[in-house]
Amino acid sequence: MSVRGITPGYRDEKRARTLVTPEGLALPITIAPRTTRAGALIIDVMIVMFTLIAFILIIYNIAWGLIEGTGLDLDDMSKGALEFLGICLALFVFCFWYGYFLVQELGPRGATLGKRIVGIRVAARGGTRLTPEAVIARNLLRDIEIFYPLVFLYSLAMLADRGEPIGVLGWVATGWFALFLLFPFFNRDALRAGDVVAGTWVVERPRAKLAKVLSTEGAASAAGSSEVTGVRYAFGEAELSIYGEKELQTLERMLRDSPPEALQAVHATICRKIGWDPGAGDERAFLEAFYAQLRAKLEADLRFGRRKADKFA
C-alpha cells in the first residue's frame, strides 16, 4: 500500500529509478523497500506452509482412515493405496514449493500473492523483458538464501540439544545465513542474490487513480465565483509571480485531500505573501481560484519555455 504518492516529491529519492521505454520515454519507477519485500516473503511463506500443512493433514487423515478401515491389521491393508498417498504427498510438496513462486511471477502481474498484497512486483532490471529464465533463476536461489540455512541451523540446534559437539559449524552456518540474508542491504537496488543472478529487481506497483479535474469545479472554473460570497477572485500579474511549480503542486495536493482547517492555514499564508487581507469563511473558493489562475500563468509560461521551479527561482 505504499504507492499512494501523488507527486514525485512524495517518493523516496533514494529509491527512485528511471526506466526508458523503447519509445524513448523516461518513466520513473520506485524500488520496493526491503521491509515491504520481507513482509511479502513472510506472507508467501505462511501461505505455502499452511497449504502444505493442510495437505499433509488431509493425506494423514486418509491414511489413518485406511489403516483403521482394515481393523489395524497391517498385512491386510492395500499397500498400493498408501503408496499412492505417499507419491501424492512427495510430488505435491515439491511442485507447490517451487511452483507457487514460479507460476505466479510468470503471470501478467509478475508477483506472488504476498507481493500483490503489499503492492510490489518483479521486473527485469534495465527495462528489458521479464523472461521465464529470469524468474526460474531468481526462485531457485531462494532456497539457499533462507530455507537451507534455517533448516541447517535448526538441525545444528537439535544436535547441540542432544549434547553433541558442533564446534565451528554453527558459526559457519550463521555467517552463511547472514551473508545471504543481509545481501539486499549491501547494494543500492536492494537486490537479493536471486535478483543478481536473474537480472531482476523488485519495484513498487504503480497504482494511481485518475483524480478529478480541478479547473472545472467551484471557483476554479472559467466563470467560477465563490458559492459563499458570490465574489469572483482575480489575481494580478505581480500576485501570481510569487510562487512556482513546487508550491502549485503542494496547493493541488491540499485542495485534493486536506481538511478545511489545513486550508485555513494555507489561505492565511498565501494572503500574507501576496499582501491581501485574509478574510475568513471562504478559504476554499479563494484557494481554488488562486490555484487555477496560478496554474494558467505558469502553464502559459511553460509554453514559452520558461519554467519556475519554486518560489526561490
Residues 26-45 interacting with another protein (rule: CB under 8 A):
27-29
Q: Does 19 bind another protein (CB under 8 A)?
A: yes
Strands (E) across 4-119 are located at 16-20, 26-30
DSSP 121-151: EEEEGGG-PPPHHHHHHHHHTHIIIIIHHHH
Among 13, 14, 23, 73, binds another protein (CB under 8 A): 23
Q: Which region among 54-62, 134-142, 159-167, 278-286 touches another protein (by CB under 8 A)?
A: 134-142
Q: Which region among 18-26, 39-47, 232-240, 267-275 touches another protein (by CB under 8 A)?
A: 18-26
Locate 270 and state its grid cell. 498565501
Burial environment of residue 43 by CB neighbours within 10 A (0 to 12, 13 to 18, 19 or more): middle
Q: Does 123 bind another protein (CB under 8 A)?
A: yes
Q: Does 106 bind another protein (CB under 8 A)?
A: yes
Among 62, 124, 146, 242, binds another protein (CB under 8 A): 124
Among 47, 113, 140, 159, binds another protein (CB under 8 A): 140
Q: Which region among 33-41, 66-74, 104-112, 233-241 touches another protein (by CB under 8 A)?
A: 104-112
Among 69, 132, 279, 281, binds another protein (CB under 8 A): 132
Q: Does 217 bind another protein (CB under 8 A)?
A: yes
- Residue 146 CB, shortest distance to another protein, in Å, is 11
Q: Does 48 bind another protein (CB under 8 A)?
A: no
Span 171-200, contacts to another protein by CB under 8 A:
191, 193, 196-200
Query: Which C-beta is closer to another protein: that of 137 or that of 231?
Result: 137
Span 71-90, contacts to another protein by CB under 8 A:
79-80, 83-84, 86-87, 90
Residues 6+ apart with CB under 8 A from 63: 82, 85
Q: How far is CA 153 from the centre of its chain?
A: 31
- Residue 128 CB, shortest distance to another protein, in Å, is 5
Closest CA to 35 of 162, 148, 225, 190: 190
Query: Which C-beta is closer to another protein: that of 76 or that of 83?
Result: 83
CA distance 116 to 79: 43
119 contacts 205 by C-beta, under 8 angstroms: yes
CA distance 299 to 292: 10
Q: Does 221 bind another protein (CB under 8 A)?
A: yes
Query: Which C-beta is closer to another protein: that of 103 or that of 268?
Result: 103
106 contacts 132 by C-beta, under 8 angstroms: yes
- Residue 29 CB, shortest distance to another protein, in Å, is 6
CA distance 229 to 136: 65
Q: Which region among 55-63, 68-76, 159-167, 208-216 touches another protein (by CB under 8 A)?
A: 208-216
Locate 162 and state its grid cell. 542432544
Closest CA to 125 of 199, 52, 196: 199
Locate 204 and state its grid cell. 513498487
Span 238-257, contacts to another protein by CB under 8 A:
245, 248-249, 252-253, 256-257
For the chain, give me the number of helices (H) and strands (E)? 12, 4
| 200-204/120-124 β-pairing | antiparallel
Query: Which C-beta is closer to another protein: that of 3 or that of 62?
Result: 3
